[in-house]
Chain A
Amino acid sequence: MEKTTLFDKIWDSHVVKSVPAGPDVFFIDKHFIHEVTSPVAFLNLEKRGIGVKYPHRTIATPDHNVPTIDQDQTIKDKLSRMQVERLRQNCAKYGIELHDLGSAHHGIVHVIGPELGVTQPGMTIVCGDSHTSTHGAFGAIAFGIGTSEVEMVLATQCIMQSKPKKMRISVEGELGKGVTSKDIILYIISKISAAGATGYFVEYAGSAIRNLSMEARMTICNMSIEMGARGGLIAPDETTFAFLKGKQYAPKGEDWDKAVAYWKTLKTDDGAVFDKELHFDAADIEPMITYGTNPGMGIKVKDSIPTTDGMEGSNKKSYLKSLDYMGFQPGEPVKGKQVDYVFVGSCTNGRIEDIRAVAQFVKGKKKADNITAWIVPGSREVEKLAHEEGLVKILEEAGFELRQPGCSACLAMNDDKIPAGKYAVSTSNRNFEGRQGPGARTMLASPLTVAAVAVTGRITDPREVFEN
């Protein structure tokens, strides 16, 4: 029998038809929608005079532009309010399940999907958001789509997609103290660049990946898009099954046993061939931070910003433009630089495990005076757990401001903006110019590094704070 990869198994079983010299008609099991990339899709359905074909396969939540304070009140920003109201109207009209502001499972779409057990191994999942790749952590093919494709899924439950090439990234060995899954992915992206996996779908493998929790796996798959990959996935295993068992939408009873038996078949065969294979050693990975304006511009916290040696033409110009925006010089160290804001949250690192890590780190300490510290849970469920576990108290005593769930300062569509020229060390996924507000300077790092920065007020290697 032909040896196939996990990606092949899931992809091939969802092809309704292959168009000659064209893309595949690709069936979508689950579709997530939010307020920003769906309204025009619904509008176009109306223009065409058609409805939503399989409403039970779509789940909605408002997350991108919602305020993170006073969520029980009417949204003040008129345009944001209109988008959220439009989402409510569309969900009511077509019978789509909505997890609205204030409800028990409201939150960032990529946090609530797994939390509800909607996300399951072997599925195909899309959403009008590039971080849909998060769901790949469960051994699903999950990726971001544009609004035209949102419309296609609503209308037909299919999209037209050419099958991407396959890459396997293996990370073997044990992670050092103070090194997290965020450091793994920032390290990989810094090695292969922000475009290094464009055209590929990635499978993450190796002992360092298998030893990670589901939350940590989600962080890695989440940032697949930041190296250009359409998505990334990890073969499901006992860790996956344990996470899903008992979740609201997870199969129950006999169905659970059947599901697990199927899920166990979802792995890459020995000897299956990838278009590209990369290998990394976990021992080489240390706490990472970005210094530029794309996620590929990352270094170890202890290292200096690369010089322009060997760069020329538009490559060098683009590099210097990026450093100029950040207010940094080639060759200088990042450690010790003063920071203004820290942001803990987003679909990358806004889960309970992330909040636990920060709370554990700052317990009994105070944030530095020069730091404004925001902590935004990824969902109401995360917020609830953070209260129940006493984490909120610890964080508030340390001087963090806890806000309500949403995408928040990750993309600053709401009022959670970093002021122009200020430095923010963030657990989010993008350090693009203006991403966290016009003129804001973002440095991406793990929750532990962010916690260390909050305490010292400067770029800090978390391991040094541990030791003290």
Chain B
Amino acid sequence: MAYDKFTILRDTAVPLPTENVDTDQIIPARFLKATEREGFGDNLFRDWRYDVEGNPKKDFVLNDPTYSGKILVAGKNFGSGSSREHAVWALYDYGFRCVVSSFFADIFKNNCLNIGVLPVTVSTEFADKLFNAIEADPKSEIEINLPEQKIKLLATGESESFDINEYKKANMQNGFDDIDYLLNMSSEIEAFEASK
């Protein structure tokens, strides 16, 4: 479904430098039993966030009040594994609108773009800069400028450009989704299907 428009986001960030975070960690399979898209944020990173009794684990970053914000800065190869879109629903429902990493898994990245969480791929060096800045000052603000395709560390002014294809960029900026596009070309699709 159509989602919030995304243009410029300026906020603090939550750091999660662990590498190869798979979608089973983002949302474990046993929480995929809903028939509606509601309440997934409560189980975001469930087994890292809570112990078996359901008590928050103090050493996990989402339980540390020092860190907050709509931006998640994640380690390399974020979102690998299962294609479950529920992982992105959980991130969105929790309040994240942007995930920054030096490397994303493919399906996860597509899923993000399809529901309006902006995946920003940065260089390993820039990711390290972000992690260091957040560690030095958890109140460090980051600006994600989608129209200009730039990510900036506001305290130092250091910035880097990121890629996104024009079509997806326009969708994110306008809150459109692919179905709107596809439904508008139904006669072309019908002709194609008939030829199969």
Could you list which residues of chain A lie within 8 angstroms of chain B, going by C-beta atoms? 16-17, 19-23, 25, 27, 29, 36-37, 39-40, 43-44, 47-48, 50, 53-54, 64-65, 77, 79-80, 82-83, 86, 128-130, 143-149, 151-152, 155-162, 164, 194-195, 198-199, 225-226, 228, 230, 293-294, 296, 314-315, 317-318, 321, 411-413, 420, 430, 432-435, 438-439
Excluding A25-B188, A145-B107, 19 further A-B contacts by CB distance (< 8 Å) are A16-B185, A16-B188, A36-B33, A36-B84, A44-B1, A65-B33, A79-B33, A130-B82, A146-B110, A148-B177, A156-B183, A195-B77, A198-B106, A294-B20, A314-B18, A314-B76, A318-B75, A434-B25, A434-B28
- From B17, B131, B179, B183, name the one whose CB has the most chain A CB atoms within 10 angstroms: B179
| Nearest CB in chain B: distance from A426 CB, A | 14
Interface residues of B in 155-180 (CB under 8 A from A): 165-168, 177-179
Beta-carbon contact of A198 and B167 below 8 Å: no
A195 contact from B20, B88, B114, B185, Cβ within 8 A? B20
Q: Which chain A residues border B88 with CB–CB below 8 Å? A: 146
Beta-carbon contact of A156 and B75 below 8 Å: no
Beta-carbon contact of B75 and A412 below 8 Å: no
List 7 A-B pairs, Cβ < 8 Å.
A39-B36, A53-B189, A86-B35, A130-B81, A149-B114, A230-B107, A411-B29
Beta-carbon contact of B17 and A314 below 8 Å: yes
Q: Which chain B residues border A314 with CB–CB below 8 Å? A: 17-19, 75-76, 131
| Nearest CB in chain B: distance from A153 CB, A | 10
Beta-carbon contact of B24 and A435 below 8 Å: yes
Beta-carbon contact of A148 and B111 below 8 Å: yes
Give CA–CA (A1, B82) in the complex, Å. Answer: 39
5 closest Cβ pairs, A-B complex: A22-B167, A146-B85, A79-B33, A144-B83, A21-B166
Beta-carbon contact of A195 and B83 below 8 Å: no
A25 contact from B22, B185, B196, Cβ within 8 A? B185
Across chains A and B, the number of contacting residue pairs, with CB separation under 8 Å, is 203
Beta-carbon contact of B20 and A160 below 8 Å: no
Asked whether any CB of chain A lies closer than 8 Å to the CB of B52, the reply is yes
Asked whether any CB of chain A lies closer than 8 Å to the CB of B105, the reply is yes
| Nearest CB in chain B: distance from A457 CB, A | 27
| Nearest CB in chain A: distance from B66 CB, A | 19
Query: In which size bucket is the chain B interface?
Result: 35 or more
Asked whether any CB of chain A lies closer than 8 Å to the CB of B115, the reply is yes
Give CA–CA (A412, B24) in the complex, Å. Answer: 11
Beta-carbon contact of B19 and A148 below 8 Å: no
Could you list which residues of chain B lie within 8 angstroms of chain A, going by C-beta atoms? 1, 17-20, 22, 24-25, 28-30, 32-37, 47, 52, 75-77, 80-86, 88, 103-107, 110-111, 114-115, 131, 165-168, 177-179, 181-183, 185-186, 188-189, 192-193, 196
B167 contact from A21, A128, A146, A420, Cβ within 8 A? A21
Beta-carbon contact of B189 and A25 below 8 Å: yes
B47 contact from A17, A128, A296, A433, Cβ within 8 A? A433
Give CA–CA (A20, B168) in the complex, Å. Answer: 11
Q: Which chain B residues border A64 with CB–CB below 8 Å? A: 29, 32
Give CA–CA (A317, B131) in the complex, Å. Answer: 14
Among residues of A, the one whose C-beta sits closest to the C-beta of B30 is A413
Beta-carbon contact of A156 and B182 below 8 Å: yes
Beta-carbon contact of B192 and A412 below 8 Å: no
| Nearest CB in chain A: distance from B74 CB, A | 11
Q: Which chain B residues border A19 with CB–CB below 8 Å? A: 167, 181
Beta-carbon contact of B35 and A158 below 8 Å: no
Q: Which chain B residues border A152 with CB–CB below 8 Å? A: 178-179, 182
